[in-house]
């Protein structure tokens, strides 16, 4: 069987856990023991299941992939397609009612409860061309809906209950139904968002 280390599974999970601790205010590097213990943190278990589902899907072990995906649905109320390409540093502080069916999600993204990322029309076959693309360092507020082929740029923020139907530029804030851009957070040397 393929080694979990070689698959990128461990690297992404480490990134998820380190991002969680960074958000929690812990600035020191996370020890190996803390990484293992963190896998049992209720806020991180859904991400562990998601990563396991993603790993087994990648290696065409569909039954195991579906098993971990269903555990997330049953225990945490979150549905995540294993077909979604998700970068490291995913943070799901609350999961109930969340549906993640984007084409891809960048690194260090926070997704709150009740969020829907998906196609405009029923799409049983999961066509990537009809799904949103979420950049890195994005925060998606509770209840937000990002529907259709929408691109959300890096460092954007989506307000709670916003319905996003059009692209959101990098560093922008989108709010409302339908969502509109209300402010841009332009990068500068003091805010830590420089690449």
Report DSSP state, residue 30: P
| Residues pairing with 185 in the sheet | none
Whether 7 shows a pLDDT value over 90: the answer reads no
Q: Does domain 9-184 have CATH number 2.160.10.10?
A: yes
**pLDDT score, position 27:** 75
Average pLDDT taken over every residue of the chain: 88
> E strands, the chain, where?
78-80, 85-86, 98-100, 104-105, 110-111, 116-118, 133-134, 139-140, 145-147, 151-152, 157-158, 163-164, 172-175, 180-184
pTM summary value = 0.86
Least confident window among 65-74, 121-130, 133-142, 174-183: 121-130
Whether 75 shows a pLDDT value over 90: the answer reads yes
* Structure-token match 């698959």, residue found: 7
Cα–Cα distances in angstroms (integers) from residue 111 to residues 7, 96, 157, in the given order: 24, 11, 10
Give the C-alpha separation, 88 to 109, whole Å.
8
Q: How confident is the model at residue 8 (pLDDT cuts 50, 70, 90)?
A: confident
The more confidently predicted of residues 98 and 4 is 98
Whether 190 shows a pLDDT value over 80: the answer reads no
Q: How confident is the model at residue 1 (pLDDT cuts 50, 70, 90)?
A: very low
Helix (H), strand (E) at residue 2: none
Percent of the chain with pLDDT over 70: 91
Handedness of CA 74, 82, 162, 17 (dihedral sign): positive
For 113-142, the pLDDT digits (tens) are 999 999 888 777 777 788 999 999 999 999
């Amino acid at each position: 069987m393929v080694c979990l280390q070689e698959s990128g599974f461990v690297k992404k999970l480490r990134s998820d856990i380190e991002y969680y601790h960074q958000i929690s205010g812990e600035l020191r590097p996370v020890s190996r023991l803390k990484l293992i213990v963190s896998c049992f943190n209720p806020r991180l278990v859904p991400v562990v299941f998601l990563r396991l589902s993603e790993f087994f899907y990648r290696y065409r072990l569909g039954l195991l992939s579906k098993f971990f995906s269903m555990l997330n649905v049953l225990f945490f109320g979150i549905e995540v397609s294993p077909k979604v390409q998700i970068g490291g540093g995913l943070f799901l502080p609350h999961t109930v009612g969340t549906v993640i069916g984007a084409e891809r999600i960048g690194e260090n993204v926070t997704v709150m409860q009740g969020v829907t990322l998906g196609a405009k029309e029923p799409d049983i076959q999961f066509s990537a061309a009809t799904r949103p693309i979420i950049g890195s360092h994005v925060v998606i507020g509770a209840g937000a809906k990002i529907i259709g082929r929408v691109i959300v740029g890096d460092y954007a923020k989506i307000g709670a209950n916003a319905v996003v139907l059009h692209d959101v530029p990098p560093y922008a804030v989108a709010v409302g139904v339908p969502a509109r851009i209300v402010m841009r957070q332009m990068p500068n040397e003091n805010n830590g968002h420089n690449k």
